[in-house]
Amino acid sequence: MPLEVFQAPATLREQLIEFQARQHCHPLTELEQIKEQLAGYVGVYLLYYRGQFPLYSGITYANQNSCCLPIYIGKAENPGKRTGKGTVAGGLVGRLREHRNSIRQVNNLDVADFHFTVVAMAVDLVAWGEAVLIRHFQPVWCSIISGFGIHAPGKGRGLQMRSLWDEIHLGRLFAEQLPPNPITIASLQPKVAQHCQNICARLGCPSEALLS
């Protein structure tokens, strides 16, 4: 007899996507102004880019009028917590601060070009929620250009290559100590452009491909 596998109802996935779409989009520069509103919550967060870095022109175009196409999706969870809110350190505010600091360190990104939305939820649902939203939006920094969410490598891993993200966006101190990655922006450009075009067509985001 084949093993029976539990599946979350498809309606639950759709409810999460609809819930996320209703959340307010905030400038990342205003994180400290709303930190009390987010304090103690765990959940999933989505970052949106609206800057001039050429590799992400399709993402910027998609987000020109609203937060439509995230460039990154991550999660913030605290083990042992069973509710969406608690008196725990870190959480959504902590993770967003980490990412803000990463962006500040690199030579070709500006925090002022980023917005974010959050989906606060019970910690039991966080990993599931992150997986659902990543599959739905397929953000470039979660699929093609990995490494944004990593921390300094542990002992014995100092000879690993820089991540794709750190090779394209130089500046994080721990990454500068790692061997360079042979990837080039030119080699990634067609893949990123096509990816954005495909996702925008499915999501209904504005696509710069319509200009050509």
| 156: pLDDT strictly greater than 70 | no
Residue 167 has pLDDT above 70, yes or no: yes
Q: What's the mean pLDDT in 147-171? A: 82
Q: What is the pLDDT of residue 159?
A: 66
Residue 160's pLDDT band (cuts 50, 70, 90): confident
DSSP secondary structure of 109-152: --GGGEEEEEEE--HHHHHHHHHHHHHHH--HHHHTS--TT---
Please tell me whether residue 53 adopts helix, strand or coil conformation. Answer: coil
Rounded CA separation 22/8 (Å): 22
The owner of tokens 């979660």 is 142
84 vs 63, more confident: 63
In contact, 118 and 50? CB cutoff 8 Å:
no
Q: Which of 134, 137, 70, 69 is nearest to 99 (CA)?
A: 70
For residue 5, name the pLDDT band (cuts at 50, 70, 90). Answer: confident
Average pLDDT of the residues of the chain: 90
Query: pTM of this prediction?
Result: 0.91
User: Would you list the domain boundaries of the chain?
Assistant: 10-207
- Average the pLDDT over 69-88 and give the result: 70
The arithmetic mean of pLDDT across residues 157-182, rounded, is 89
- Residue 151: pLDDT band by 50, 70, 90 thresholds? confident
Nearest to 125 by CA among 68, 204, 42, 64: 42
Q: Are 72 and 137 in contact (CB under 8 A)?
A: no
Report the alpha-carbon distance of residue 23 to residue 19 in Å, rounded: 7
Most confidently predicted of 83-87, 92-96, 151-155 = 92-96
Least-confidence region, from 84-88, 138-142, 144-148, 204-208 = 84-88
Would you say residue 52 has pLDDT above 90? yes
Q: How many CB atoms lie within 10 A of CB 162?
A: 21
**pLDDT > 70 in the chain, percent:** 89
Say if residue 7's pLDDT is above 90.
no
Q: Judge whether residue 155 has pLDDT over 80.
A: no
